[in-house]
Homo-oligomer: A and B are copies of this chain.
Amino acid sequence: MNINVGTSASRTTPFLPVRGTPTISATSRGTRELLMSIAGPPRRYVRGQHLFHAGDSDPSLYVVESGSVKLYGITSSGAEQIFAFCLPGEFFGLDVLGEPAHGSSAGVLEPTTVRALPVPEIRAMYRRIPAVQHRIHRLLAHRINELYEQMMVLSKKRADERLAGFLLGIDARLPEPQRAAHILRLSMSRYEIGCYLGLALETVSRILRRFDDEGLTRTRTRRIQLCDLERLRALAGLALSGPARTTPGILFA
């Protein structure tokens, strides 16, 4: 997304006092920092490179520092299906925590740096700091609910509703500085957007054009400005307005 945030560790974790179990850990805050403390060195990649493929038994998950990554699988008939786009600060590849191998492939969309977190070290951390474990559960559970949301999109929404939701979703995940202007610089092609939303790339292009004609957006290839957030939200079926959107998750499997 042509964005450079500082190290993702600089992000403050919004909230997290895990209710219920009285966690013994001293630091109930800062689990993200704890997790990041076992992250390997930043690694650079360019578009087209892969961090792992479905089936790889590489035992680590990843955090995006800058750039963006797509998580995807291949249909039985050979078609690509994108499961998620991962932006700076977000974890992905979490499924190796429970499965012997990755269930999806991770491909880089633009010049990107990521850091790896070795699964064994995460497991070791569980013992010492229960809060980390709760954090991981939060991430996994949250991801499942995100996928439920995506299922509803794929099976019930029209093309324009999907696109509106997609644009708003990206927008909401931008780091503070760029979020204000509501200008997206997409790192993915029309084809990839279509792969994610279950649409043909031509449909993506056409709907985007219509949004422009109707004053919802201002599009110049991969630079998209969101002009009428209210109408976009209405289209996407989101609650109107809503200033402070809680973006607690920051994870991907």
Contacts and interface: CB of A to CB of B under 8 A. Distances in A.
Contacts of A155: 81, 154, 197-198
Count identical subunits in the complex: 2
A141 B98 contact: yes
Given A120-B20, A151-B83, A152-B81, A95 B126 contact: no
Interface residues of A, number: 55
A44 interface: no
Nearest to A21: B123
Given A98-B142, A141-B97, A148 B103 contact: yes
A181 interface: no
A77 B124 contact: no
A147 interface: yes
A156 interface: yes
Nearest to A137: B98
B95 A198 contact: no
Contact of A138 (B99, B141, B142, B198): B99
Given A20-B59, A120-B20, A156-B81, A140 B144 contact: yes
